Structure 1
Amino acid sequence: MGQLRDFEQMGPGESVQQLTTENATLKRRVQQLPQEHRALRERREGARSNLRFADKRIADLEAQLLEQDQ
């Protein structure tokens, strides 16, 4: 991956069919990456929202404890 290949310098085991298959696989992967990126962003936003809720809940509970001590 990440290397350009020269058809004239292909290894003995490589064929045009193998390169075509690999190219098709890489193209599909490139199409999948934006979807995976979007899903990860959505998960991150959900986690941040949960964290904000937890922080607010903790702050509320700390305030209640302080009120009870007084």
Structure 2
Amino acid sequence: MQALVTENTTLKHRVQQLTREHHTRQERLEGARSNLRFAYKRVAAFEAELLEARQR
């Protein structure tokens, strides 16, 4: 019985650790997506500038 209690406690700690890691990765993913959106906007702005310059 003690072995089961020990294993259960170990598994609970592992679940908590994995949950924290998941949360951290979710935050990093959100940041990366935000950075990518910003980069796409910058590229679009540069493309618009190039088109304007070519039309002059």
| TM-score interval, smaller chain | 0.7 to 0.9
Q: Pairwise mapping of residues 1-70 of structure 1 onto structure 2 (< 5 A)?
A: 17=3, 21-70=6-55
Larger radius of gyration: 1
How high is the sequence identity, in percent, across the aligned residues? 64
RMSD: 1.8
Misfit runs of 4+, over 4 Å: none
Q: TM-score, normalised by structure 1?
A: 0.65
Structure 2 unaligned residues grouped into runs of 5+: none
Relative to the length of structure 2, the TM-score reads: 0.78
